[in-house]
Structure 1
Amino acid sequence: MRVAVISDIHANWPALEAVLDDLPAIDDVICLGDVVGYGGNPVQCLDYVRNRQWLTLLGNHDLACADRDVLDWFNDDAATAIRWTVEQIGPERVDWLGARPPTDRRDGALLVHASPRSPVFEYVMDAESAAANLAELGGSLCFHGHSHLPGVFRMDGDRVRHQYRTGPVELHGPVLVNPGSVGQPRDRDPDSSYGIWDTEASTFEFRRVGYDRLAAQKAIMEAGLPARFAHRLEFGY
């Protein structure tokens, strides 16, 4: 089975649309959460994901829409975007977001938004956090998002190794796979990031695709959201 794994759309419809246009022949799509937040097209992105009935996990921005106490963890600009998003999407969509599962499993792989240890909130961005989470996995595979940084963490002897390249990467557990972000890339590459998981070959193919950043930036600015959310799209950070 070939499964597209996407994460961190963040209400960026032009980016999601470009990823959809780029998809090769696949059998399914998994979304690792954060459909909303930062971007100016939350209704369009959310309705598309819901209507396709993709397996969609709970991200921290999704949770913040449903549980305002979570906003205490957010910086002022991110919290502003969440409050605006809630006004746009309405109660029924908020309830749907809040009902997303924090974890799931597919073909032996653990699926989370953030990390095995803390499925909604923990950032896995360095060797220390990666090693601790790899230890949680035993010999299995985990797909996660949240950091917006594509790549694979795995053990190499007693050291953690991080690997990223476009094209297929072999998956032999324990391994943490981050497909990167569709709507808010932060690895200094502004193109949308996602990947294709081949469950039979046990590989993951990282893919990048350009999109209409000007349209995404315009949606953010016209919504009156913080300008830095638009600016960072130009540079991928």
Structure 2
Amino acid sequence: MKLALLSDLHANRQATEAVWAHAQEQGIDQLVFLGDYVDYGADPAWTVDFIRERISQGAIAVRGNHDDAIDGHGSADLAGHVMPSLAWTRQQLSPDQHVFLACLPLTATVEDCLMTHANAHDPVNWGYIHNRVEAARSLFSTEHRFVFCGHMHQPCLYHLTNTGKAGEFSPVAAVPIELSPARRWLAIPGSVGQPRDGNPAACYALFDTETDTLTFQRVPYDHEEAARRIIAAGLPSHHAERLKHGH
């Protein structure tokens, strides 16, 4: 089974459409969304409807911290600069879209893969995985061989040996990585809608469960148009600037 793993769309319609088109060209069998569909970007209602439509067609989606904050849950833990766009986003969504986001699960599984937004060891509190120690903590908390997370906005891959030694490396786009059966793995595919690794191209990943092959992907899109829409909506300009520079 070939999985497409998309995270942190952040109401960026242009990036989402580009990644969706690219993923379809790869002949995927299962679409997985790893959370944070709203906030920052100018098209939250469109993005929520896109997710709902894909779920109706068999996709899997988990809830992210920005999705959770739409109805006030955990919003106090978000940085102050998020509040204006979060308040604006709340007003753009219909009552049933609010309910949809609130009812998304925190975790999901596909074969031997665990999907969650932030981490596997404490998904409800949205802690980040900044390093191999935190990645190992998540891997130790589950029996699944593969864990896929979002939240960090930067592609990364961690592994854990049978002796408990953890390692990490930064993946190269479009280069398939065979995940050794002698290790367990935690992958962060990066952000579709707001990359923060210095590259404005949208991020996502493909995972083949038959060959245990993971491929990180970068998809150029019209980030200038996405930034223009943010400004036109009256949202904070730094959300637009991040799209132009990928940080």
The number of residues matched between the two structures is 236
Does 2:5 align with 1:5? yes
One-letter identity of the residue aligned with 2:95: P
Does 2:118 align with 1:114? yes
- For 1:117-153, what per-residue CA distance to the aligned partner results, in whole angstroms no more than 9, with x for missing partners? 1225011011221222222234611010000111211
Structure 2 residue aligned with 1:28? 30
Does 2:98 align with 1:94? yes
Rounded to whole Å, the distance in 1 between the matches of 2:134 and 2:187 is 14
State the 4+ residue runs in structure 1 displaced beyond 4 angstroms: none
Structure 2 residue aligned with 1:230? 240
Contact 2:158–2:166 (8 Å) recurs in 1: no
Contact 1:137–1:174 (8 Å) recurs in 2: no
One-letter identity of the residue aligned with 2:19: V
5 Å-filtered alignment, 1:50-199, equals 50-53=52-55, 54-66=59-71, 68-120=72-124, 121-138=126-143, 140-155=145-160, 158-166=165-173, 167-171=175-179, 172=181, 173-199=183-209
| CA drift at 1:201 | 0.7
Rounded to whole Å, the distance in 1 between the matches of 2:212 and 2:78 is 36
One-letter identity of the residue aligned with 1:213: H
Does 2:222 align with 1:212? yes
Unaligned runs of 5+ residues in structure 1 are none
One-letter identity of the residue aligned with 1:175: W
Q: Report the TM-score when normalising by structure 2.
A: 0.91
| CA drift at 1:225 | 1.1
Unaligned runs of 5+ residues in structure 2 are none
One-letter identity of the residue aligned with 1:164: P
Contact 1:138–1:174 (8 Å) recurs in 2: no
Q: Report the TM-score when normalising by structure 1.
A: 0.95
One-letter identity of the residue aligned with 1:141: F
One-letter identity of the residue aligned with 2:192: V
Rounded to whole Å, the distance in 2 between the matches of 1:20 and 1:208 is 12
Contact 1:151–1:165 (8 Å) recurs in 2: no
Q: Larger deviation: 114-123 or 86-95?
A: 114-123
- C-alpha RMSD of the superposition: 1.5
Rounded to whole Å, the distance in 1 between the matches of 2:202 and 2:187 is 16
Contact 1:114–1:144 (8 Å) recurs in 2: yes
